């Protein structure tokens, strides 16, 4: 009797291990890729130190938030082509209001900006629910609106984010290897983990996974969709503020790059564009990989313009490998 139980346990563990591997395989692969790219980087540039690491975390921070924003929306079965525009809006709102003020004032402004842009994200969702127009069309249209508003707030790139506010992201308070920009990423799990465990968060997965089954399970489709867009808006706002902190500048035209790269990051990060599948860990790591590519090229003495090309080829390869994998599994 006991012998069989003892024999059962390792088998069960193996089952669990196999399952975890299947479920998190992609994420693990993304981190392995990140580690590989880091190792290659250090091999190319033996004097890679905390400064370079610091630079990377600064460059990756806004993109990581953009990826988180897009992940939220895509998990719920949508897509938000206005992520970059929302970030730009948050960025210029922050600059406009903070200009010439101290840290406390800046923090209050940051809070207000977070609320405003979260509402803008929710508005994206609400328009989609109300008009029943496909997500891609509405967010494309609202990307004009948010970008236009950003231009209204600030006509041209302007420096002037308070230094104390910038220092929240720049430098490293604790250790040179744990830059502040890395710590700020903790905002993502702070929102994501409780959300994922709540019914509301499960409902977002549910509507992305199978809308019909979600409806039968009593999920409020409209509210869940708006929530996904609102949380997406919140992360976009974080991204905009991160842009303010890392660059110190308000840039009304920053949007397009982040919209496109955020889609790249979630694809690379293993979030299914069909919705319902994926998590936050993959896209964030993917944001780091995408930010590392131009740096590596510079270390190699290659024209950093190859960066975009490599990013494009990388995405195509990743998606095709995914597609071939799905084909093999089906056969």
Partner 1 sequence: MSTRAVSVVRLVQQRSFLVLIALLVALAGLIEIIRPGAVNAHWVSNILEFAAPLGILAAGQTLVVITGGIDLSVANVATAAAYIMASQAPFGVTRSIVAGLLVGVAVGFVNGIGVGVFRVQPLIMTLAMGLVVTGSLNVYSQAAVRSVPGVPAVIHTLGSGTVLGYVPVSLFLWALLGAALIIGLRSTGFGRLLYAVGDNIEATRLAGVRGWQVLLANYAACGFLSAVAGLVLSGTVNAADLSLATVLLLPSVAAVVIGGTSIFGGSGSYSGTIVGALILTVLNSVLTLLDVPDAVKQVLYGAIIVVLAAAYTRVLGHE
Partner 2 sequence: MLEASGLAKNFGPVVALRSADLRVRGGEIHALMGANGAGKSTLVKILTGALTADGGAISLGGRPRSFRSTSEARKAGLICVYQDPSLLPDLTVLQNLKLMATPISRFRHYLAELGLDGFDLQTMPRELPRPTLSLLDLARALAIEPQLLLLDEITASLPADLTVRVFNVARQLRAEGRSVIFISHRLAEVAALCDRATVLRDGRTVGVVEPAQGGEERIVKLMLGPVADEVAAEAASPSAPATGGVAVEVRNLKAGTLNGVSFTLRFGEVLGVAALEGQGQEELFDCLAGVRRPESGQIVVGDKGSSFRHPADAIRAGLVLIPADRLQALLRQRPVRENIALPLVSRISRWGPINLRREKRSVEKAVKRLQIDTRVQSEVRRLSGGNQQKVGIARWLVGGFKTLLCFDPTRGIDIGTKRQIYGLIKELAANGSAVLLFTSELPEIQLACSRVIVLFGGALVDEMPAAEADEKALLRAAHGLPSEADPDAQEGA
| Binding status of residue 320 toward partner 1 by CB under 8 A | yes
Name the binder of 277 from partner 1, partner 2, none, CB < 5-8 A by kind: partner 2
| Contacting range for partner 1; rule: CB under 8 A; set: 46-54, 146-154, 214-222, 229-237 | 146-154
For residue 287, give the nearest of 56, 104, 114, 24 by alpha carbon: 56
| Binding status of residue 263 toward partner 1 by CB under 8 A | yes
| Binding residue for partner 2, selected from 277, 297, 300, 310, defined by CB under 8 A | 277
Distance CA 196, CA 279 (A): 9
CB of 293 to partner 1, least distance (A): 11
Distance CA 229, CA 324 (A): 31
Pick between residue 15 and residue 319 the one whose CB is nearest to partner 1.
319
Instruction: State the sign of the Cα–Cα–Cα–Cα dihedral 57, 274, 213, 224.
Output: positive
| Binding status of residue 71 toward partner 1 by CB under 8 A | no
| Binding status of residue 132 toward partner 2 by CB under 8 A | no
The footprint of partner 2 on residues 167-206 (CB under 8 A) is: 199, 202-203, 205-206
| Binding status of residue 79 toward partner 1 by CB under 8 A | yes
| Binding status of residue 312 toward partner 1 by CB under 8 A | yes
- Hey, which bits of the chain come out as E strands? 158-159, 249-250
| Binding residue for partner 1, selected from 137, 163, 190, 193, defined by CB under 8 A | 137
Measured CA distances, 307 to 42, 170, 204, 237 (Å): 18, 25, 34, 26
Both tokens of 312, joined, read: 């494009």
| Binding status of residue 17 toward partner 2 by CB under 8 A | no
3-state DSSP percent of the chain in helix, strand and coil, to 5: 75, 0, 20
| Binding status of residue 213 toward partner 2 by CB under 8 A | yes
Name the binder of 329 from partner 1, partner 2, none, CB < 5-8 A by kind: none
Radius of gyration (Cα) for the chain, nearest Å? 21
| Binding status of residue 14 toward partner 2 by CB under 8 A | no
Residue appearing with tokens 């709540």: 198
Backbone angles phi, psi at 267, to 5 degrees: -65, -45
| Binding status of residue 276 toward partner 2 by CB under 8 A | yes
For residue 286, give the nearest of 51, 22, 37, 19 by alpha carbon: 37
Other CB atoms within a 10 A radius of the CB of residue 46 amount to: 7
Pick between residue 200 and residue 222 the one whose CB is nearest to partner 1.
222
Name the binder of 209 from partner 2, partner 1, none, CB < 5-8 A by kind: partner 2
How many chain residues touch partner 1 (CB under 8 A)? 44
């Amino acid at each position: 009797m006991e012998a069989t139980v003892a024999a059962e346990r390792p088998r069960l563990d193996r089952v669990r291990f196999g399952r975890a591997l299947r479920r998190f395989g992609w994420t693990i692969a993304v981190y392995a890729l990140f580690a590989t790219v880091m190792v290659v980087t250090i091999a190319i540039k033996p004097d890679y130190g905390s400064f370079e690491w610091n630079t990377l975390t600064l460059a990756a921070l806004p993109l990581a938030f953009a990826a988180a924003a897009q992940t939220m929306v895509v998990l719920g079965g949508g897509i938000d082509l206005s992520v970059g525009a929302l970030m730009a809006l948050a960025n210029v709102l922050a600059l406009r209001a903070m200009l010439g003020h101290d840290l406390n004032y800046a923090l209050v402004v940051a809070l207000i900006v977070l609320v405003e842009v979260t509402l803008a994200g929710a508005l994206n969702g609400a328009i989609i629910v109300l008009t029943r127009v496909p997500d891609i069309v509405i967010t494309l249209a609202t990307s004009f609106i948010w970008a236009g508003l950003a231009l209204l707030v600030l006509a041209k790139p302007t420096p002037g984010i308070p230094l104390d506010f910038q220092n929240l992201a720049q430098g490293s308070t604790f250790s040179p290897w744990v830059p502040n920009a890395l710590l700020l990423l903790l905002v993502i799990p702070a929102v994501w983990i409780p959300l994922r465990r709540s019914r509301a968060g499960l409902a977002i997965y549910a509507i992305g996974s199978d809308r019909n089954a979600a409806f039968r399970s009593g999920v409020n489709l409209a509210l869940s969709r708006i929530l996904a867009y609102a949380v997406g808006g919140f992360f976009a706002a974080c991204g905009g503020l991160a842009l303010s902190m890392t660059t110190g500048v308000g840039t009304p035209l920053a949007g397009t790059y982040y919209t496109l790269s955020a889609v790249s990051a979630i694809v690379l990060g293993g979030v299914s564009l069909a919705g319902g599948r994926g998590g936050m860990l993959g896209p964030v790591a993917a944001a780091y990989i995408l930010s590392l590519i131009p740096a590596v090229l510079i270390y190699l003495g290659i024209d950093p313009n190859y960066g975009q090309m490599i990013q494009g080829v990388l995405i195509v390869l990743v998606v095709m490998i995914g597609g071939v994998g799905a084909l093999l599994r089906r056969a």
